[in-house]
Amino acid sequence: MEAYLDNSATTVVADSVREIMIKTMTEDFGNPSSLHMKGVEAEKYLRTARDEIAGILKVQPKEIIFTSGGTESNNLAIIGTATANARAGKHIITTAIEHASVLNTMHHMEELGFSVTYLPVDKHGKITAKQVFDALTEDTILVSVMHVNNEVGAVEPVEEIGEMLHKERPEILFHVDGIQSFGKYQIRPKKYHIDLFSVSGHKIHGPKGSGFLYVSDRVKIKPILFGGGQQRGLRSGTDNVPGIAGIGEAAALMYRNFDENTAHMYELKDKLIDGLGKISGTVVHSERGRDSAPHIVNVSFIGVRSEVMLHTLEAKGIYVSSGSACSSNHPHISETLSGMGLSRDEIDSAIRFSLCEKTTGEEIDYALEIIGENIETLRKFTRRK
C-alpha cells in the first residue's frame, strides 16, 4: 500500500488540469500577445482563469497577477510595495515563523535600508492583532502575515489584523501569504481588508511553476521583472498559458465541493492526531478541530530523529516531510518550532503529515500501523548509537 501524506510540499496534478494544459501546449499554443487567431485563442485561457479566480475571491479580474509560484508572489508583494512606498516610511512588520520566501525577502529589505519587526508566536504558533497594533510606528508601510503556517498548520488571525489596520491605520498595506490556505478556506480579501494575497498552483492540484498575486487596485506597487509590459506592466514576460490555464482549473476544482472536502480533511486530521496520541513518546504540535488548518499535523517522535522516521516510513510507501520542503536542501533549526518554544529533542524528531481532500482513512490507518510497529525498535537503535 502507498500513503502520500506530504501534500503541503506538493499535490498531484488533477486530471482536468493536466488535460487543459496539454491542450494549450499542443493545440491552442499561441502567444497571447500575438494579434492573430492563435494568439486570441491563447488569450481566452488567461481571461477564463483570471475570471475564475477573481470570482472565488470576490475581487476584480484585473487585480489578479499571474506569477511563477508562491515565491515570486511573495517577493513581488513585499519588494514591490516596499520600494513603491518608501517615501512614506521604511518599517515592515511580519512574524518570526514566515515561509523562507518571506523571511529571506525581509532580510533583503533590511539590506536595502528598511527596518523589519519579527513578531514572536505563542506555543500554538500564533500571533494576535494586538501584537501587530503594538508594533506599529509612524514609519510602518507594510504588514505581512501568513494565513496558515506550513509546518504546524497554525491559523493566524488575518481577519482581525485586517480589520484593526483598516480602523487604525488604513494607509498601511496588508499582505497575506495564502499559499497553505487557498482552497482550504473561503477567503474574501476585500471583506478582510487584505491588499495583497499570494497563492501557489502546485499546492492545489495545479502545476508547479504557477501562481498568482491578488493586488488590490488601491495598492501602489512596482514591478520586480522588466520587459514587454505584460499584465499591466507588473509582471513582464510571455504569459505561461499552460500554467495559468492549469491554476485556473485547479482553483475551480478546489471550491467545487468545498464544504464536503474540508469536513473530510478535518475528520482525517483528528483521526490522525488521536491515533498519534496513543503512541508512546509522541508530542503533537498541531491543534485538533477548527483551531488549526484541516490538512497539517506536526508531531515529534521523541528519541527518533526525523530523517530516520521519514526514511523508515518511505520504505513502507508512506511519504511525509521532516519540515518545509523548500528548506529540505538546507537543513536548519525550524523557526516555527523553535519560535513555539519546543525543545531541541522535539525539533530534531518532528515530522509533518499533510493531507488533501483525496486522502483516505485507510492511508491514515496504514501510517499509524507502521509507526506503531516500528517506533520502539527505532528508539532502541537510536539509544545504541
Tell me if residue 83 falls in helix, strand or coil. helix
> For residue 82, which of 64, 118, 107, 57 has the smallest C-alpha distance?
107
- Those residues whose C-beta lies under 8 Å from the C-beta of residue 380, and which sit 6 or more positions away, are none
The 10 Å Cβ neighbour count of residue 331 is: 10
Residue pair 202/69 in contact (Cβ under 8 Å)? The answer is yes
Count helices and strands (H / E) in the chain.
13, 12
| Length of the chain in terms of residues written | 385
Q: Which residue numbers are catalytic? A: 326
Q: In what order do the strands lie in the sheet with 91-95?
A: 64-67, 211-215, 196-200, 173-177, 140-146, 91-95, 115-119
Amino acid identity, position 305: R
Distances (CA, A) of 228 to 225, 233, 382: 10, 8, 57
All cell numbers assigned to 11: 499535490
* 222 Cβ contact list (under 8 Å, min separation 6): 79, 80, 83, 84
- Evaluate the CA torsion angle 35, 40, 41, 43 in order and state its sign: positive
Please list the residues that pair with 67 across neighbouring strands: 211
